[in-house]
Structure 1
Amino acid sequence: MTEYFFDQHYNNLHYGLETLNLKEFESCSFTNCNFSECNLIGVTFIDCQFNHCIFDNAKINHTAFRTVFFNDCQIKEVNFAMSDKLIFEIHFNNCALDFSKFYALKLKGISFNNSSLIAVDFMATDLTGAQFYNCDLYRSEFEKAIANKVDFRTSYNYTIDPSKTKLKKAQFALEGLKGLLYKHGIIVE
């Protein structure tokens, strides 16, 4: 049976391997909590906030994120592709998501603000209308992604192959052109 928690505030907690399994949290906030050892199975987060939390290497199989905000969190090497896809909506502000995976997810309208997205897997992901504001996208992979209407203007270090990524009406700054032309061996100075 699933335990339900509403409008709770959790601070400075270190969660163990199976501590949160089969629990549902709605309108809850987590501050300075460590989830890095968690193997989350069947957990649901609805309208929740995570502030200054650590999720490095957390396993989030069948975890539901329904309108969830991550602020100043460290979320390295997390496979979001294994999340529950029903009403999946997440947003990131000032987060480190290096080496995480969003493979084949529908992330329409997602926002990444002031975040490190080094070597993140966005392959086959639907990013339509996404916002990448001031993000480091070094070695992130966008092959077969739908990046129509995505705003990349303030982000940097990306290399995107326009022949392998849908980019209709995507926005780029002039400084970012070299990231679109790299495969042609064109030098932009």
Structure 2
Amino acid sequence: MVPLGQPLIPTAMQQPVVYLQKTFSKEEFPFENLSGAEFERCSFTECDFSYVNLSGALFTGCAFRLCRFVVPDLKRVHLQSAVFEECQLSGADFGQCEALGFSVDFRHSKLDNCSFRKRKMSGTPFSKSVLNDCFFTESDLTGASFDDCSLPGTVFDRCTLKGADFRSASEFAIDPAQNNLRKAKFSTYNLAGLLSGYGIVIE
């Protein structure tokens, strides 16, 4: 096992670097290469993943708390049952992650300019989070929930939102003509978010 802080550059002749049930606290990884590393049931607290090369890395059952992600390289990253709590994520392109097994959970987090293009995210929970100028394009959000979330500037384009729960969400704009909203849940106070693209004035 290679200590963090040293370059992790697995080659075709090397076995992946594996971390099992390890706790990381206040680690700073800016510009570090964690490509191909494997993390299983690890926890990260107050860690900085800004501009980190995570390409091909595997995170299984990992928890991130109070962590910072600024434009991380997520090409072919496996995120399986990953929990983000009180994290700040900016410019993260989750559409580059491996589709197989993709599973995330966001709690009390702030996401800016993040993309979930073509991600299958059935049942994904977003709780008490702010999604600012994020992009859901051709995403499958069947049964997803946006509990007490604010979504200013976030785009939903050709998404499957069947059964998704927006009852306590705010500041969203969703075009029913461009998205599948069958049995999606809204409250009477936020229905205006479905009409913003039609020039209708609601008083």
User: For this structure pair, what is the TM-score category when the shorter chain's length is used for normalisation?
Assistant: over 0.9
Q: Tell me which residue corresponds to 2:186.
A: 172
Q: Tell me which residue corresponds to 2:102.
A: 88
Q: TM-score, normalised by structure 1?
A: 0.97
Please list, as runs of the form range in 1=range in 2, the aligned pairs for 1:31-42 lying within 5 A after superposition.
31-42=45-56
Instruction: Give the match's secondary structure for 1:137.
Output: coil
Across the aligned residues of Structure 1 and Structure 2, the Cα RMSD in angstroms comes to: 0.9
Deviation at 1:17, TM superposition (A): 2.2
Question: In the alignment, does 2:59 pair up with 1:7?
Answer: no
Percent sequence identity over aligned pairs = 33
Aligned partners of 1:101, 1:133: CA distance in 2, in Å?
19
Deviation at 1:183, TM superposition (A): 2.2
Q: Which amino acid aligns with 1:154?
A: S
Please list, as runs of the form range in 1=range in 2, the aligned pairs for 1:133-148 lying within 5 A after superposition.
133-148=147-162
How many corresponding residue pairs? Answer: 189
Aligned partners of 1:168, 1:101: CA distance in 2, in Å?
23
Deviation at 1:37, TM superposition (A): 2.3
Please point out which of 56, 63, 72 is paired with 1:49: 63
Point out the structure with max Rg over C-alpha.
2
Deviation at 1:159, TM superposition (A): 0.7
Q: Tell me which residue corresponds to 1:120.
A: 134
Aligned partners of 1:70, 1:76: CA distance in 2, in Å?
13
Aligned partners of 2:45, 2:93: CA distance in 1, in Å?
22
Deviation at 1:177, TM superposition (A): 1.3
Aligned partners of 1:18, 1:34: CA distance in 2, in Å?
10
**Deviation digits for residues 58-115 of structure 1, max 9, x if unmatched?**
1211111010100000011110000011111000001111110001110101011111
Which runs of no fewer than 5 residues in structure 2 stay unpaired?
A: 1-14
Aligned partners of 1:15, 1:182: CA distance in 2, in Å?
41
Q: Which amino acid aligns with 2:147?
A: Y
Please list, as runs of the form range in 1=range in 2, the aligned pairs for 1:68-83 lying within 5 A after superposition.
68-83=82-97
Q: Which amino acid aligns with 1:155?
A: A
Question: In the alignment, does 2:197 pair up with 1:183?
Answer: yes
Which runs of no fewer than 5 residues in structure 1 stay unpaired?
A: none
Q: TM-score, normalised by structure 2?
A: 0.90
Q: Which amino acid aligns with 1:109?
A: G
Aligned partners of 2:30, 2:170: CA distance in 1, in Å?
36
| Maintained 8 Å contact 1:177/1:188 | no
